[in-house]
Amino acid sequence: MEPPQTEPLDVDRIRSDFPILEREFDGTPLVYLDNAATSQTPDQVVDAIAHYYRHYNANVHRGLHQLSQEASIAYEEAHDRVAEFIGASGGREEVVFTKNTTESMNTVAYAWGLSELGPGDEIVLTEMEHHAALVTWQQIAKKTGAEVKFVRVDEEGYLDMDHARELITDDTEMVSVVHVSNTLGTINPVSELADIAHDHDSLIFVDGAQSAPHVSIDVEAIDADFFAFSGHKMCGPTGIGVLYGKEHLLEEMQPYLYGGMMISKVTFEDSTWHELPWKFEAGTPVIAQGIALAEAIDYLEDIGMDRIEAHEEALAEYAYDRLSEFEDIDILGPPGDDRAGLVSFNLDSVHAHDVSEILNSHGVAVRAGDHCTQPLHDKLGVPASARASFYIYNTREEIDTMIDALEDARELFA
């Protein structure tokens, strides 16, 4: 896949917004290549959090005083900003703030799944799903009697779309698919899957945790019924996630978290729910985090999502090519020119945890393990893998540092 033809990023300028990247360990500079787990946070976002706490810290939607009014406006406008970012024309009514992608998935699974699913119904996932989706729908199926089926992943790391067409039938009620695999780097054809699902009157949930931080998202062009992502992977704070849902679906769904803020009227006998999106945001919400997420979106869009995508794809292809130079390194997933900004790999006869430890001694931070995709690793016949994942502040020189560190691992375990 040819990367977009865009002006390259000014990485040196971007890096100046991230003081953590200046850290050294015993004189060794930090090389942070674990962005698929959590990205770093620029000063602008940290400042937005501090500004909230220093100047208008108050609860929202429950006070008439000035601070509460200011906080409420900023929190509501953060929903508007997210809706604009993902192309949700319904605005804030279609944007629910959660703690993370996992909570977004659980919100739909419980608020929709428990009432809509039953024996004879099917949920279609893929073999590359993150545990956030796989475990959630697996357990909902156990509670409802529905059956979970999995679209195969082929030897190159792509979805078997012929198999998808076989599995998705009129018995399918939900298709849940990861937009970008956090292990393989595969970019899935979610619009095509949405068309197949809708042809069978099924809904589709797109896990955008690894796509929303890196590419332009248009949930309406995808025709996703639900879409979810997390702030901490896109220069935002931890503790904030987003659930997009088509307005008519969210209107029909009953909340599964109850308490303050999400109610309209309460008597000793019964309760009614607040309007969207607040009926799904029980209790004191993620105020500072939501405001900071809006600031992170501003930061990314000032850089340009097309430029971010091109930068990361170029880094992934370069890393793939460098790793491919070695016969004793096995790379998981599609070719280097057709993947998102991450590369998972294994060094022959060396456990991924040991590889990670050696890289860490060189200041290189990568992820090692099953990346919350245990069944996928089982299918691939490997217990774990090391994963290097890239973002706006990473460089080719940092990838070269990782390659040099792998030489040490190779010598140590020879």
Check whether the bond before 277 is cis (ω within 30° of 0).
yes
Question: What element of type H or E holds 72?
Answer: helix 66-86
Tell me whether residue 235 is one of the annotated catalytic residues. Answer: no
Which of the following is catalytic: 74, 187, 203, 372? 372
Q: How far apart are CA 135 and CA 132, in angstroms?
A: 6
Instruction: Tell me the residue type at 39.
Output: S
Q: How far apart are CA 149 and CA 138, in angstroms?
A: 10
**pLDDT number for residue 7:** 82
Q: How far apart are CA 158 and CA 126, in angstroms?
A: 10
| Token code pair at residue 117 | 């699913």
pTM of the model: 0.97
- pLDDT per residue, tens digit, the chain (414 aa), is 454 457 899 999 999 999 999 999 999 999 999 999 999 999 999 999 999 999 999 999 988 999 999 999 999 999 999 999 999 999 999 999 999 999 999 999 999 999 999 999 999 999 999 999 999 999 999 999 999 999 999 999 999 999 999 999 999 999 999 999 999 999 999 999 999 999 999 999 999 999 999 999 999 999 999 999 999 999 999 999 999 999 999 999 999 999 999 999 999 999 999 999 999 999 999 999 999 999 999 999 999 999 999 999 999 999 999 999 999 999 999 999 999 999 999 999 899 999 999 999 999 999 999 999 999 999 999 999 999 999 999 999 999 999 999 998 888 886
Q: How far apart are CA 206 and CA 24, in angstroms?
A: 38
**pLDDT number for residue 5:** 58
Name which of 223, 185, 227, 186 is nearest 206 in CA terms.
227
Instruction: Tell me the residue type at 51.
Output: H
Burial of residue 349 (number of CB atoms within 10 Å: 0-12, 13-18, 19+): exposed
What domains can be seen in the chain, in order of their start residue?
Answer: 11-32+304-412 (3.90.1150.10), 46-301 (3.40.640.10)
| Token code pair at residue 286 | 């993620």
Burial of residue 30 (number of CB atoms within 10 Å: 0-12, 13-18, 19+): middle
| Residue labelled with tokens 């937009």 | 179
